[in-house]
A = this chain, B = another copy of it.
Amino acid sequence: MASSLKPPEVPLELHAINREKLLNSFRQHLTETSCPLHGFGGEEKNRYCTDHIELFRQESYFAYLFGVREPGFYGAIDIATGKSILFAPRLPSEYAVWLGEIKPLSYFQERYKVSTVYYTDEIVGVLYDQYKGSGKPLLFLLHGINTDSNIFSKPAEFEGIEKCKTELNMLHPVLSECRVLKSDLELAVIQFANDISSEAHVEVMRNTRVGMKEYQLESMFLHHTYMYGGCRHCSYTCICATGENSAVLHYGHAAAPNDRTFEEGDMALLDMGAEYHFYGSDITCSFPVNGKFTSDQKFIYNAVLEAHNAVINAMKPGVSWVDMHKLAEKIILESLKKGSAIVGNVEDMMVERLGAAFMPHGLGHFLGIDTHDPGGYSKGTERPKEPGLKSLRTSRELCEGMVITVEPGCYFIDALLVPAMENAKTSKFFNREVIGRFKDFGGVRIESDVLVTSNGSKNMTNVPRETWEIEAVMAGAPWPLNQKI
């Protein structure tokens, strides 16, 4: 099988609907009425001083509103009239020789379903023409902190901006909040990203052999999602961790570049997701590289799987994400206790936040145009301070239309376990002998992308999860298992 999927045509009304949502939301917050908003797309970047141009990927807020794949654009939405305006860069005639056809403005108008398109050097003039009031037109610019990176988005800059009044505080929270609840058109794209990524995970699993290098699994994933899904970008750098590396949560970057040769007896933890038309997926599968779980591997794997399933079953509107995190922790601790890795009262362990010694990261995060989609800490939502919980990328209550990852994990990380075993309050919980058996185990993470529905949740990811399903698929069975070949 090559693939059962093919890349869908995405209706660019998707972004018109996003704009409409912003308009409606913005109008509710406004006292003044006639004022355009303004967003700015990204630019291509050179690598250092060279003429090596990095492959451009649109800034996410701009992509949300306009869906523009080309660099150098600006965009505005007139709140009074609802008109949307794109500003395209005026390209030099040599562009046609080196970079391709210089498209007329009408091309962008039609493709991106906006009211009008001008050149970027016309911005101020157009804004004044649009603006019917007296004095300077007021622009709401995007400026606000990303609560995962702590970096502020850079407000748009252009020649003549000083001729306008600018407001920096309103757009970012309103627009971020719009991005939290996904529309049906957005969900369809996220579903495709999940479908092709799920299929690629299965393909990788099936082709994993002892003696391979971690990056070969990355290569197979990238190839499958691009070749058959048209996904040129990934949502994030692939994490292909085997053996001990699977305890490094964000393995795979340049200083730890998926370059280990894996061995008989290793577990693999593969966290990989493709992006399609800006929208991402974020999926983790964990499995033994030789295709057969040992009893220890099954023990840890099933602890995590039980947590994963329990959370998905408990999810529905109104449920607190902090509670879901604690639910996952509790189930993992109970399983570890059953397997005698830890001893004592699980409620006491919860009070001491013992779960964070095994799962230092948050249970999951919003997913959309960014892998860690914004809006996790909207105004009035506070970040917890306790170990484990402080790593949560949101502490909100679930609402219908949120897409959030469910990614419990259980890791054996010396940097966490050694201090916890020495700590007066937590040392009593550990069975050192059993813990010692897992010294080089690494870790297990199971991650699915889950939509909150009106009365529950829907798992958008479709990969083998039960140990016997994984073993069957790795032995060559089709996926789904009951499928005819």
* Chain A residues bordering chain B, tally (CB within 8 A): 68
A295 at the interface (CB under 8 A from B): no
Residue-wise interface mask of A (247-259) relative to B, using a CB-CB cutoff of 8 A (1 in contact, 0 not): 0111101111101
Tell me the nearest residue of chain B to A56, going by C-beta: B254
Given contacts A97-B360, A222-B223, contact A372 B51 (CB under 8 A): yes
Per a CB cutoff under 8 Å, which of B58, B146, B236, B248 touches A100? Answer: B248
- Chain A interface mostly helix, strand, loop or mixed? loop
A297 at the interface (CB under 8 A from B): no
Contacts of A215 in B (CB 8 A): 226, 230, 232
A484 at the interface (CB under 8 A from B): no
Within 8 A of B (CB), among A64-109: 69-71, 93, 96-101
Contacts of A146 in B (CB 8 A): 49-51
Interface stretch, picked from A40-48, A263-271, A323-331, is A40-48
Contacts of A257 in B (CB 8 A): 69, 232
Tell me the nearest residue of chain B to A256, going by C-beta: B100
Taken together, the copies of this chain in the complex come to: 2
Given contacts A98-B248, A215-B232, contact A254 B71 (CB under 8 A): yes
Interface stretch, picked from A149-157, A446-454, A455-463, A465-473, is A149-157
Contacts of A57 in B (CB 8 A): 47, 254
Cβ distance A250 to chain B, nearest Cβ, rounded Å? 5
A434 at the interface (CB under 8 A from B): no
Given contacts A255-B70, A372-B50, contact A250 B98 (CB under 8 A): yes
Q: Of residues A149, A213, A255, which shows the largest number of chain B Cβ atoms within 10 Å of its Cβ?
A: A255
A230 contacts B255, CB within 8 Å? Answer: no
Contacts of A154 in B (CB 8 A): 48-49
Those 4 A-B pairs whose CB atoms lie nearest each other, nearest first: A223-B223, A51-B149, A56-B254, A219-B226
